[in-house]
Amino acid sequence: MEKQKQNIKPQLALSMINGLGAQKITRLIRHFKEPEKIFDSTPKELTRIDGIGIGIAKQILNFKDWNRVDKIIEYAEKSDVWLLTQTDEQYPERLRHIYDPPILLWGRGNKNALSTKGIAIIGTRKPSPYGRDAAERFSKKLVNNGLSIFSGLAYGIDTIAHRTTVEQKGTTVAVLGSGIDRIYPDANRKLAERIIENNGAIVTEFVPGTKPDAGNFPVRNRIVSGLSLGVLVVESADTGGSMITVGSALDQGREVFVIPHSLNNTAGAGCNSIIKRGHGKLVQNLQDILSELSINLQQKNKVEHQPKWKQVELSIEECALCEAIGKETIHIDTLAEKTGIPGHSILVSLLQLELKGCVKALAGKHFQLV
């Protein structure tokens, strides 16, 4: 436990420094291997890291707030709050392989809920009756088909999705844009407790005490999509948090599902725009979602042959991916786990393999060799 605490302290300290996001902290840790060495380095060493300027380097080396770090860790140890780092076994694999995974995850409730197979349901804070009905109806059907629900505990669509899941005795995870001790909005405090009591979880990357500042919510949205197999946009305007989440989902290789709206409903204009641009699948019923998430793994009339990838010139990473796929049909997250290659890098290599005729992309981000 003491060794884990010593490993967490420098990571927690880094997360408290202004200007240091998840990407930069990840680069620092990968470079120095042992997080505590970062604070014993020199400005010259730090500025060699991509994205670390002299200003941030000085903040790191001048960091003195170790008492606050100890108090935050002590708070977690004395409460029902848990903490996950990227090296912990229970850190969710799907999240681990996004481009900028959270360095630390603070949570309450069931840690394992973060790794369940589920859909993120997102949308406006002020839904129309049509949006409310759709959110409740699809949440209920998804839960009754064994899927978890991920969302952000905000007013409107988020609240409906979480509440419906709890009522159906399903598992739901709420991702906060504040510290784990600052439930926002305050009106959803009881809902947060019900989520925990029902084997779900609330989670955040922000340290305890962090206020729900407006700038936190776009950042947290990548976690909502990153935990999921796909994102269902129930009702959204052309701009706002839901559209940011859609962008994150597309970057992460997640499926995007969209409920269409009447042309007279400006609150749903964003949904129609996503469909128009071809960035999401129009959803009319549950099967439209399930058909993209599950495929038939039984390959009929399979004939042994020399795979195409062994007949063309490939990079080392492309060969490793083909070896990992083998004779299976495999999901991109499993592929990332098997190879250790980050998800964002895998997407680029898989595209190249498709262009070379070596790999075929299937529904639900599954792949197989040609």
pLDDT digits (tens, 9 = 90+) for 291-334: 888 633 223 333 335 677 877 778 778 888 888 898 888 988 88
Residue 339 reports pLDDT greater than 60: yes
Residue 5 reports pLDDT greater than 60: no
Residue 80 reports pLDDT greater than 80: yes
What is the average pLDDT across 35-42?
89
The DSSP annotation for 142-188 comes to: HHHTT-EEEE---TTHHHHHHHHHHHTT--EEEE-SS-TT--SSGGG
- The whole-number pLDDT of residue 1 equals 40
Residues forming CATH 1.10.150 domain(s) in the chain:
2-78
Residues 24/60, Cβ–Cβ less than 8 Å: no
Residues 348/366, Cβ–Cβ less than 8 Å: no
Q: Which of 282, 276, 277 is nearest to 255 (CA)?
A: 282
What six digits make up the tokens of 329? 């049909």
What six digits make up the tokens of 271? 């949904």
- The whole-number pLDDT of residue 294 equals 61
Rounded (10°) CA dihedral 171, 175, 178, 183: -30
Contacts of 180 (CB under 8 A, 6+ apart): 81, 106, 107, 108, 202, 203, 204, 206, 208
Residues forming CATH 3.40.50.450 domain(s) in the chain:
108-293
- The whole-number pLDDT of residue 303 equals 35
What is the CATH architecture of 308-369?
Answer: Orthogonal Bundle (1.10)
Instruction: Name beta bridge partners: 258.
Output: 233, 282
Each residue's pLDDT tens digit, 223-273: 999 999 999 999 999 999 999 999 999 999 999 999 999 988 988 999 999
The yes/no answer on whether domain 108-293 falls in CATH 3.40.50.450 is yes
Q: How far apart are CA 180 and CA 163, in angstroms?
A: 19
Write down the pTM of the prediction.
0.74
- Please tell me the class of the 2-78 domain: mainly alpha
